Amino acid sequence: MSVCLFQQIVKSLPRRRIAKLVSTHESDKWTKKLKTYEHLLAMIYAQLYHRRRSLTRK
């Protein structure tokens, strides 16, 4: 996976809107380490990585 693609996706995320949703739904209320935004980044990376691997495998 190209780091540039991941960076482009991350830059296009509406951080203020995500922060507002996190606050509204209190999704970080009981978290200790992995916050909602970090979890979102990990999930996006995993999807991109899986897609790349499935395309290169035969």
Amino acid letter for position 58: K
Instruction: With beta carbons less than 8 A apart as the criterion, state whether 37 and 18 touch.
Output: yes
Instruction: State how far Cα 10 lies from the chain centre.
Output: 7
Q: In which element (H, E) is residue 24 found? A: helix 15-25
pLDDT (tens digit per residue) in 3-53: 688 999 999 999 999 999 999 999 999 999 999 999 999 999 999 888 766
pTM: 0.79
Instruction: Output the six-digit token pair for 23.
Output: 């606050």
- Domain spans of the chain? 3-56
Q: What angle do CA 14, 15, 20 make, to 5 degrees?
A: 105
Q: In which element (H, E) is residue 36 found? A: helix 36-56
